[in-house]
C-alpha cells in the first residue's frame, strides 16, 4: 500500500516533467493526503524549476491558507442517504438516524472528488443558514463588488490573514460562484475570531464605491444550534451509559477498573434503581489499541494480533448485562480506514462481538427511545485544539461547543484528521443532537451548549509512555450515565469513577 502511494506520487510529479528530491518525497509521503499536497506543491513551483525540493514542500505545509481544492460546480445533489429531515418515530428503542459514512465518490481525480465533498458541505450548511434575519439579501459571492447595495453571502473560509499596518482581519471566502476577500476592521467585535480554515460562515457585507476598498463585514452568523430549540428526550424512562477508548489489547488496559464498572453495571455496587434503567451502552471509539498506530506501539501491546484484540473486545462486552444494547463506533486506533467519516467495523471483525452490539460508522447519529445522540470519536481535537486559542485536551467540551457552532465535527482540511472524499460530507452535524459524545482526549468532561448535553467520556487505558511523551494527562476509568428523559437538565448525568481502589458514584459533573 505504502509503496503504491510512493509510485503514484513519483509518477504524478514526473507527469509534470519535474524531479522530486528524496527529502521532499519523504515529506510528501509523511503527509496524510500526499497527492493533494503534491498538487499544491506543483501549483506553487510553477514552470520555472525542474525540481521539487524539501524547502518547497515545507513552504506549502507551513502556509496557513487552506490547500483544499476549490468547491466543485455545480454542488452534488442531495443523496438518497439524506435522512436528516426524517422525523424520529416514537417508542423505538434504537434507530439509526444518520450514518456519517456514505458511498465513496465516483470521481477518479482526487481534486475533483474533494471539490464535490466541499461543495456538499457548503450546500448543507447553507441550508441551515438560509433565511436568517441577519443574512438579508443573500447573494452568490461573485456579485460582491464595489458599489453594491448591502448583501449577505455564505462562504467557506479559504484564508485568514491580518493586515500588516492596521491589523484588520481579512477573510477570503468562497462559494461555488467564486471567491472574495472581505475585511473585518480591527475595532469590530467580530475581529476577535478566531476563524478556522474551511468552516462555513454567513456574512453580512457593506460596500464602498471605491473599488480599492474591500467589502466590510458588518454581521456574522455561524450555522450553530438555534437558541431556544425545544430540548429532545426519550419518551419513556431509560438511561444510557457512555464510555470511550477501551483500547483492548493494550498492556495498560485497566482491567481492575473495568471490573469495578462491571460491578456497577450488574447492580452489585448500589444504585440498583438507576442501573435497572440502563438500556444502552454507547462506546465512542478506540475499541481496541490496534497495531502500528504510533511508533514502537508493539512494546505497549498485551495482544499483538488485531483479530485477537477484537475477540477479546467481544469477551469484555459479553461481561456487560446482555439486556443492554451496546452501540459502538470506531476510532483512529480501530482496524478501519483512518480517513473520516470512518465506516463501521468490517463484518469479519464485528462477528467477534455479541449479538446485542450495534456497530456503526464514525460519526453516527441515532435515536434511543427518541433522545437523539451523535457519537464522534474526536480525532479532530488534534487539529482544533492547536487552532483555537486557549483550547486544551483537558477541556474537550469547550472544543465541542465550537463544533456545534460550526455544525461541523472536523472542518479543517489537510491537518492531522484525514478526510475521506465521500459523496456526502458526513461530518456536518445535521440534525443537531440532544447529546454529543466524543472520546479521543482520554479525559472526562460534562457540559452543555444550548440544551445539547456534551460528553467526553474518558478511557479505560492507563497512561502509556507515548502519551506521557506527548504531554497528555489521562483522566481514566470514568463513565457517564445519563437519564435520557431529561438529558438537558443539570442533574441528568451520573458519573461513575472507577479510577481509585473504591468506586465513587456521584451526580452531575465531577
Judged by the rule CB under 5 A, the positions of this chain that interact with Fe ion are 245, 286
List CB contacts of 410: < 8 A, sequence separation 6 or more: 340, 379, 380, 383, 384, 417, 419, 427
In the block, which residue shows the cell 435497572? 276
Strand order in the sheet with 325-328: 357-359, 325-328, 278-283, 239-243, 478-483, 493-497, 504-507
Beta carbon nearer to Fe ion, 12 or 460 = 460
- CB of residue 316 to Fe ion, shortest distance in Å: 16
Beta carbon nearer to Fe ion, 245 or 497 = 245
Beta carbon nearer to Fe ion, 286 or 383 = 286
CA distances from 320 to 269, 281, 398, 479 (A): 14, 9, 31, 14
Beta carbon nearer to Fe ion, 247 or 402 = 247
- CB of residue 360 to Fe ion, shortest distance in Å: 18
Strand partners, 270: 268
441: left (phi over 0), alpha (psi -120 to 50) or beta: alpha
- CB of residue 377 to Fe ion, shortest distance in Å: 8
- CB of residue 285 to Fe ion, shortest distance in Å: 7
- CB of residue 328 to Fe ion, shortest distance in Å: 14
Output the CA angle 350-333-120, nearest 5 degrees.
Answer: 85
- CB of residue 442 to Fe ion, shortest distance in Å: 6
Beta carbon nearer to Fe ion, 200 or 480 = 480
- CB of residue 396 to Fe ion, shortest distance in Å: 12
- CA torsion 427→432→433→439, rounded to 10°? 40
**Nearest-CB residue for Fe ion:** 286
Beta carbon nearer to Fe ion, 176 or 245 = 245
Beta carbon nearer to Fe ion, 286 or 483 = 286
On the CB side of 476, how many CA atoms lie within 13 Å of its CA?
23
76: left (phi over 0), alpha (psi -120 to 50) or beta: beta
Beta carbon nearer to Fe ion, 99 or 438 = 438
Pick from 149, 205, 146: which is nearest to 173 by CA? Answer: 205
Distance separating alpha carbons of residues 28 and 36, to the nearest angstrom: 9
Strand order in the sheet with 94-99: 94-99, 364-368, 371-375, 435-438, 452-457, 444-449
- CB of residue 474 to Fe ion, shortest distance in Å: 9
In the block, which residue shows the cell 458519573? 495
Amino acid at each position: 500500500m505504502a509503496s503504491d502511494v510512493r509510485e503514484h506520487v513519483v509518477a504524478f510529479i514526473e507527469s509534470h516533467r519535474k524531479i522530486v528530491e528524496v527529502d521532499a518525497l519523504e515529506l510528501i509521503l509523511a503527509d496524510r493526503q500526499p497527492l493533494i499536497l503534491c498538487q499544491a506543491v506543483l501549483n506553487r513551483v510553477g514552470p520555472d524549476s525542474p525540481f521539487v525540493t524539501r524547502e518547497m514542500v515545507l513552504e506549502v505545509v507551513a502556509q496557513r491558507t487552506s490547500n483544499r481544492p476549490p468547491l466543485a460546480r455545480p454542488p452534488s445533489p442531495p443523496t438518497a442517504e439524506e435522512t436528516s429531515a426524517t422525523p424520529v418515530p416514537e417508542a423505538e428503542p434504537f434507530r439509526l438516524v444518520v450514518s456519517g459514512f456514505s458511498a465513496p465518490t465516483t470521481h477518479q481525480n482526487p481534486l475533483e472528488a474533494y471539490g464535490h465533498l466541499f461543495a456538499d458541505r457548503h450546500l448543507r450548511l447553507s441550508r441551515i443558514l438560509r433565511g436568517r434575519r441577519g443574512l438579508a439579501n443573500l447573494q452568490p459571492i461573485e456579485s460582491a463588488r464595489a458599489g453594491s447595495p448591502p448583501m449577505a453571502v455564505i462562504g467557506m473560509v479559504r484564508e485568514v490573514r491580518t493586515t500588516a499596518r492596521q491589523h484588520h482581519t481579512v477573510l477570503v471566502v468562497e462559494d461555488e460562484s467564486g471567491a472574495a476577500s472581505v475585511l473585518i476592521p480591527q475595532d469590530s467585535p467580530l475581529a476577535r475570531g478566531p476563524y478556522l480554515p474551511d468552516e462555513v460562515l454567513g456574512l453580512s457585507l457593506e460596500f464602498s464605491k471605491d473599488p480599492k476598498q474591500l467589502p466590510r463585514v458588518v454581521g456574522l452568523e455561524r450555522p450553530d444550534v438555534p437558541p431556544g430549540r425545544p430540548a429532545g428526550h426519550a419518551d419513556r424512562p431509560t438511561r444510557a451509559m457512555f464510555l470511550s477508548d477501551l483500547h483492548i489489547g493494550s498492556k495498560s488496559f485497566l482491567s481492575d477498573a473495568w471490573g469495578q464498572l462491571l460491578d456497577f453495571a450488574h447492580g452489585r455496587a448500589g444504585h440498583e434503581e438507576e442501573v435497572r434503567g440502563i438500556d444502552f451502552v454507547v462506546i465512542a471509539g478506540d475499541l481496541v489499541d490496534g497495531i502500528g498506530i504510533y511508533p514502537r506501539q508493539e512494546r505497549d501491546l498485551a495482544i499483538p494480533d488485531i483479530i485477537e484484540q477484537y475477540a477479546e473486545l467481544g469477551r469484555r462486552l459479553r461481561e456487560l448485562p446482555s439486556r443492554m444494547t451496546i452501540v459502538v463506533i470506531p476510532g483512529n486506533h480501530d482496524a478501519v480506514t483512518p480517513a473520516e467519516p470512518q465506516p463501521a467495523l468490517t463484518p469479519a471483525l464485528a462477528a467477534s462481538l455479541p449479538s446485542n452490539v450495534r456497530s456503526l460508522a464514525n460519526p453516527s447519529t441515532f435515536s434511543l427511545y427518541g433522545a437523539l445522540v451523535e457519537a464522534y470519536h474526536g480525532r479532530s481535537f488534534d487539529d482544533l485544539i492547536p487552532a483555537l486559542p486557549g483550547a486544551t485536551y483537558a477541556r474537550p467540551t469547550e472544543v465541542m461547543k465550537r463544533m456545534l457552532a460550526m455544525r461541523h465535527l472536523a472542518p479543517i482540511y489537510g491537518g492531522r484528521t484525514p478526510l475521506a472524499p465521500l459523496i456526502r460530507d458526513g461530518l456536518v452535524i445535521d440534525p443537531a443532537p440532544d447529546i454529543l459524545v466524543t472520546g479521543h482526549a482520554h479525559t472526562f468532561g460534562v457540559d452543555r451548549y444550548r440544551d445539547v448535553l456534551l460528553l467526553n467520556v474518558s478511557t479505560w487505558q492507563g497512561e502509556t509512555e507515548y502519551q506521557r511523551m506527548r504531554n497528555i494527562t489521562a483522566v481514566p476509568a470514568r463513565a457517564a450515565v445519563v437519564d435520557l428523559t431529561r438529558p438537558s437538565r443539570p442533574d441528568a448525568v451520573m458519573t461513575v469513577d472507577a479510577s481509585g481502589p473504591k468506586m465513587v458514584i456521584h451526580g452531575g459533573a465531577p
